[in-house]
Amino acid sequence: MLVWIFRVIFWLILVAFMLASVSSTEIARESAERPANFIGVVLTGFAMGVFVFLVEALTPRRKLSALAGVFFGLLVGLLVSGALAPIVDMINESYAIQLVPETVAAIKWIMGICVCYLTISIVMRTRDDVRFVIPYVEFAKQTKGARPLVLDTSAIVDGRISDLCESRLFDAPVIVPRFVLNELQLIADSADKLKRNRGRRGLDVLKKMQTSPTIDVEIDDTNVPDIEEAKGVDQKLLVFTKAYNGRLATTDYNLTKVAQVRAVDVVNINDLANSLKVVALPGEAMQVRIVKPGEEADQGIGYLDDGTMIVVEGARNKIGRDITLSVTSSLQTSAGKMIFGRFESFATSQANNRSHRRPARRPAGTGA
């Protein structure tokens, strides 16, 4: 929208300057005898206006630069216009067109307006490449305040992001792009019951966040050409987050890795949850119930209340029983956390329960 406003202003300025030029006393008087003055102003104005407009319209679209890009383009345009001005005098003298000085000045002004418009448009649309052409010149987006948190579908369906925002851990506005909301609606309308439940849960979580007085949620409907050209929701999310200088919140392990490769700030909810878990130190004693056998021989698997998987050596034949283990090591990744330990003994509480259930022996020699 801003580009079209800029185009309209350009044509209004160009047409107004041409009308003012041909209406001046000197050009109007000379045009009556030599129409070349009138034709030169009008033809040059419209020809150059159409030329630079077509060049600007056919230039590949880029993101809108900061205001500094406009001033830089204007400076370059003035320098180029000053360099091209003597060419107009040379053409007038070489071909004996006999244009009056006022007409030559008007043509130079029209050429300056068109060149400035073209250079500003090029800088606005290719600001990311300016640094490679002119070192130490870069138009970076300056963001004041907290950077927005962009949610993807997996983070919304997971639901923990709502509690994290409620706790004021993320003191930043939350943005949900329109294409993410559309994907969430498609999941909620799926024929698969599991997917349908996940989609409805995501919509409920989003509604809860919108009604919360402590969370600032915005559904963004902005149509950026670079985002529309990206294929897939994940690619659109990366472009959207980078364009808005935000942070991407997700639980998708692969999307996290791709975002890191493309230099996009990402907050993995699983990483955050794992960092808040209690650290298990080697040698520490823990109690867990063995629920299934492990992959390796003589291994048993148990789980803590937060879902952390415990792999215990020597506990394969103790399924369904509470044991005490000694922690040997732990492994923490974006996919989750695992604790490795070694069987020490059965849990004390279970041993006490068995002793309570054991019938008491009657001392020998006592009567019935």
Could you read off the pLDDT of 225-258 as tens digits, one per residue? 667 777 888 888 888 888 888 899 998 889 999 9
**In terms of pLDDT, which residue wins out, 275 or 361?**
275
- SS3 assignment, position 191: coil
Residues facing residue 287 across a β-bridge: 324
Q: Tell whether 364 is covered by a domain.
A: no
d(CA 285, CA 144): 48
pLDDT digits (tens, 9 = 90+) for 89-146: 888 788 777 777 777 888 888 888 888 888 877 776 665 555 444 444 544 444 445 6
d(CA 141, CA 132): 17
pLDDT digits (tens, 9 = 90+) for 318-353: 888 899 989 988 876 655 678 899 998 887 654 444
Contacts of residues 287-296 at CB distance under 8 Å and 24 or more positions apart, as own/partner, are: 287/322, 287/323, 287/324, 287/325, 287/347, 288/312, 288/322, 288/323, 288/325, 289/320, 289/321, 289/322, 289/323, 290/315, 290/318, 290/319, 290/320, 290/321, 290/323, 291/319, 291/320, 292/319, 293/319
Number of domains in the chain: 3
Mean pLDDT taken over the chain? 76
Q: Where are the beta strands (DSSP E) in 171-243?
A: 174-177, 217-220
To 10 degrees, the CA torsion angle through 188, 194, 195, 197? 30
Cut 0.85: pTM above it: no
Phi-psi region of 157 (alpha: psi -120 to 50; beta: other; left: phi over 0): alpha
Residue 359 has pLDDT above 50, yes or no: no
Residue 64 has pLDDT above 80, yes or no: no
Cβ contacts of 312 within 8 Å, gap of 6 or more: 288, 290, 294, 299, 300, 301, 302, 323, 325, 340, 341, 342, 343
d(CA 1, CA 7): 10
Give the H/E segment covering residue 40.
helix 36-58
Q: Tell whether 138 is covered by a domain.
A: no
Q: Tell whether 44 is covered by a domain.
A: yes
Q: Tell whether 237 is covered by a domain.
A: yes
Predicted confidence band at 204 (pLDDT cuts at 50, 70, 90)? very high
Tell me: do 170 and 256 sit in the same domain.
Answer: yes
Q: Which residue has the tokens 């000694």?
A: 326
Tell me: do 291 and 269 sit in the same domain.
Answer: no
d(CA 54, CA 175): 36
Q: Tell whether 45 is covered by a domain.
A: yes
Tell me: do 316 and 206 sit in the same domain.
Answer: no
pLDDT value of residue 350: 44
d(CA 158, CA 335): 14
Structural domain including 27 reads: 2-133
Cβ contacts of 83 within 8 Å, gap of 6 or more: none
Tell me: do 220 and 155 sit in the same domain.
Answer: yes
Tell me: do 162 and 243 sit in the same domain.
Answer: yes
**In terms of pLDDT, which residue wins out, 21 or 225?**
21
pLDDT value of residue 307: 72
Q: Tell whether 39 is covered by a domain.
A: yes
Tell me: do 166 and 257 sit in the same domain.
Answer: yes
